[in-house]
């Protein structure tokens, strides 16, 4: 999805058609393929714990029948009774131990599976094209990496063990009850169909509700992130009330979808409880009639055992129904996470290498490009830049100057036409080599968490201390660096407020100087630097680029005037080109920009 000027949309991002819950579930299960050992260990422990729990009703039934003996005139077999109680105590102890061990394995399984998902998402994000980030809110991407993956982790930690134990309990209870009394077993299972029907009907409605809830979470995160990042702008333009109103709107939207989802999810446990109590009443009533009329081999202890078995039988069904809300949340989250994993990575089919020489030629041949279909930013744009030439691009805001940089760096691909470096189409050049050949310095600084040394060395990690020092001196960043308490080893961050915008820009310039590119692109790179410092940096940078190609996008006359050629961009193409004095003499578009101070004087 392309957007005009690379700006994200104001409304919800267009999404692919939602996947089915079954397809998402199948894919999630695939993440357990490398965890067979953990799953087998969990299965053994769950089976052991569950089988022990299945024995509990039987021994309780025997104990009750022993205590009921006095009603028939015989004495209680205390030795037998104590043996049964000791066995029950051992069953409770070992069942608890196995449950504890199973919980530990479940936690490890959760960490392993979610770590795989996190790594896949993180690695895919690094490989996605710039276009993806232009069309998705950063807050929404963050929500997918954090909140959505946490929802998946919560499901795995609870659902896997529950599913294994539920299967064993249901099968075990059915077998035992059929052996003891087929009629009472049929009564016990009579409500299962009602359980299943209610669960299926509610889960279908819940999946859509939980998907909308997670989308609302992403929108809310994006708004909060924007509020923090643009705090100064919001305060300066007195937009606090508007942001509060928007926050309230998004909060209401999130609350509306969350309440609907939780209401549907919350309806399942009480509904299952009602069905379970109905099952209990039927067993007691039918069992009592069978005991009273005799001939069915039913004892008081057996009725008690069946009530316990019915609880064990319906409990996993109720638990599975109870976690449907959690399942729907996790599936909605998984769908959003898989959208990132399935996104098409940045393509790189280049195989042709460039010749090794200092400067390179750059040619734009009939390039047409649109961020939004039908709205051309560049229209049959052509421009030739010779090796070692310094070319300035000027024009009104929004005419496509920065778009040319995006296309040259292959952040986007042109709709038609081609871009050549040394006569080679850049689509045939490996992107790694292309971005080593051309270095770009943007207006928006990009500092990283770490030291000043780390930030400068980001241009070339192998650079020695002397080389880093020379890079700082060349861009006049050494002046403010020397004033820092720890010099080059001063810790800075992306949100560092102790460095001015100009100082941050100087660090990025120093970083760029380390790469020794064949072509350098300065996109309003010195807009935050004062005029005196700019002149010094220009002299240093132009000295460094004396035998290299340079593209300059700027509005300052001091920057534009010294260019070998000035290209005036208008209506998506080059309208005028020449030197500063030549263009002024033509009294055309450039002259108008200069007179209207679109190009700033000294």
Percent of the chain with pLDDT over 70: 82
Strands 438-441 and 519-523, bridge-based pairing = parallel
266 in Cβ contact with 325 (< 8 Å): yes
Cβ burial, residue 570 (10 Å; 0-12/13-18/19+): middle
pLDDT at 476: 82
pLDDT reading at 460 higher than 60: yes
pLDDT tens sequence across 468-518: 998 888 888 888 888 888 889 988 877 665 777 778 888 888 888 888 888
**Which architecture does CATH list for 20-341?**
Up-down Bundle (1.20)
Domain residue spans of the chain: 20-341, 362-446+517-595
Mean pLDDT of the 126-131 span: 83
State the average pLDDT for the chain. Answer: 79
Quote the pLDDT of residue 567.
93
Q: How confident is the model at residue 5 (pLDDT cuts 50, 70, 90)?
A: very low
pLDDT of residue 7 exceeding 50: no
Residue 236, pLDDT score: 62
Q: Which one of 164-178, 247-261, 389-403 scores highest in mean pLDDT?
A: 389-403
User: Does position 12 have pLDDT exceeding 60, yes or no?
Assistant: no
Contact 568, 394 (CB under 8 A): yes
Helix H or strand E encompassing 552: strand 549-553
> What pLDDT score was predicted for residue 245?
83
pLDDT at 228: 67
Tens of pLDDT, residue by residue over 525-572, are: 766 666 666 666 666 666 666 678 989 887 777 778 878 899 999 988
Tell me the three-class secondary structure of 53-69, residue by residue. Answer: HHHHHHHHHHHHHHHCH
Query: Residue 485: what pLDDT?
Result: 83
Read off the pLDDT band of 78 (50, 70, 90).
confident
Kindly indicate the confidence band of residue 16, based on its pLDDT and cuts at 50, 70 and 90.
very low
At the topology level, CATH places domain 362-446+517-595 in: Rossmann fold (3.40.50)
Task: Report, as an integer, the average pLDDT of 438-465.
Answer: 83
Confidence band (pLDDT; 50, 70, 90) for 187?
A: confident
Per-residue pLDDT band at 15 (split at 50, 70, 90)? very low
Residue with tokens 């000294």: 602
* pLDDT given for residue 371 in this prediction: 87
Predicted local distance difference test score (pLDDT) of residue 232: 62
DSSP conformation class of 14: P
377 — pLDDT class (breaks 50, 70, 90)? very high
Structure tokens at 192: 């299962």
Place of tokens 């590119």: 517
Residue carrying the six token digits 């049964």: 84
Q: Kindly tell me if the per-residue pLDDT of 422 is higher than 80.
A: yes
Rounded to whole angstroms, the Cα distance separating 363 from 403 reads: 15
How many CA within 13 A on the CB side of residue 119? 7
DSSP H stretches of helix in 515-552: 531-544
SS3 419: strand
Please determine, for residue 13, whether its predicted confidence score (pLDDT) is greater than 80. no
Specify the higher pLDDT residue, 356 or 484: 484
């Amino acid at each position: 999805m392309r957007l005009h000027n690379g700006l994200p949309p104001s409304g919800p991002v267009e999404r692919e058609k939602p996947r089915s819950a079954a397809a998402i579930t199948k894919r999630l299960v695939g993440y357990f393929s490398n965890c067979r050992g953990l799953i087998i260990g969990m299965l053994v422990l769950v089976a052991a714990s569950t089988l022990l729990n299945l024995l509990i009703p039987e021994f309780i039934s025997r104990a009750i029948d022993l205590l009921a003996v006095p009603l028939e005139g015989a004495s209680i077999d205390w030795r037998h009774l104590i043996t049964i109680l000791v066995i029950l105590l051992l069953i409770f102890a070992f069942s608890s131990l196995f449950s504890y061990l199973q919980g530990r394995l479940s936690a490890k399984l959760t960490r392993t599976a979610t770590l795989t998902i996190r790594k896949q998402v993180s690695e895919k994000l690094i490989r996605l094209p710039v276009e993806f980030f232009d069309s998705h809110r950063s807050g929404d991407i963050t929500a997918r990496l954090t909140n959505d993956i946490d929802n998946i982790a919560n499901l795995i930690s609870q659902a896997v063990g529950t599913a294994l134990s539920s299967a064993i309990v249901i099968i075990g209870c059915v077998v035992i009850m059929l052996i003891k009394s087929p009629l009472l077993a049929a009564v016990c299972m009579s409500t299962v169909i009602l359980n299943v029907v209610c669960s299926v009907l509610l889960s279908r409605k819940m999946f859509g509700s939980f998907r909308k809830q997670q989308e609302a979470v992403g929108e809310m995160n994006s708004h909060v992130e924007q509020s923090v990042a643009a705090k100064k702008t919001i305060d300066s333009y007195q937009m606090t009330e508007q942001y509060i109103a928007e926050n309230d709107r998004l909060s209401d939207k999130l609350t509306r979808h969350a309440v609907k989802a939780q209401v549907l999810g919350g309806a399942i446990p009480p509904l299952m409880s009602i069905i379970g109590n109905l099952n209990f009443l039927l067993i007691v009533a039918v069992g009592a009639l069978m005991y009273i009329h005799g001939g069915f081999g039913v004892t008081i202890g057996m009725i008690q055992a069946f009530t316990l078995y019915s609880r064990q039988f319906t409990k996993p069904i109720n638990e599975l129904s109870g976690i449907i809300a959690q399942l729907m949340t996790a599936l909605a989250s998984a769908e959003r996470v898989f959208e990132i994993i399935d996104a098409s990575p940045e393509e790189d089919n280049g195989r042709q290498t460039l010749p090794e020489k200092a400067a390179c030629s750059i040619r734009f041949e009939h390039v047409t490009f649109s961020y939004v279909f039908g709205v051309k930013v560049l229209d049959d744009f052509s421009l030739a830049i010779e090796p070692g030439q310094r070319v300035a691009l000027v024009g009104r805001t929004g005419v496509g100057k920065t778009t040319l940089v995006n296309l040259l760096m292959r952040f986007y691909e042109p709709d038609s036409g081609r871009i050549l470096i040394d006569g080679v189409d850049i689509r045939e050049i490996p992107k790694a080599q292309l971005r080593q050949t051309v270095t770009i310095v943007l207006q928006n600084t990009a500092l990283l968490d770490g030291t000043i040394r780390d930030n400068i060395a980001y241009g070339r990690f192998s650079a020695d201390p002397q080389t880093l020092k020379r890079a700082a001196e060349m861009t006049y960043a050494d002046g403010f660096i020397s004033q820092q308490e720890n010099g080059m080893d001063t810790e800075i961050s992306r949100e560092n407020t102790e460095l001015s915008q100009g100082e941050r820009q100087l660090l990025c310039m120093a970083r760029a100087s380390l790469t020794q590119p064949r072509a350098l692109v300065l996109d309003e790179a010195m807009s935050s630097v004062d005029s005196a410092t700019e002149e010094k940096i220009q002299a240093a940078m132009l000295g460094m680029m004396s035998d290299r190609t340079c593209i300059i996008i700027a509005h300052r006359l001091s920057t534009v005037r010294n260019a070998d050629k000035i290209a005036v961009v208008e209506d998506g193409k080059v309208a005028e080109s020449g030197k500063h004095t030549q263009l002024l003499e033509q009294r055309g578009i450039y002259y108008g920009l200069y007179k209207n101070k679109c190009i700033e004087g000294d």
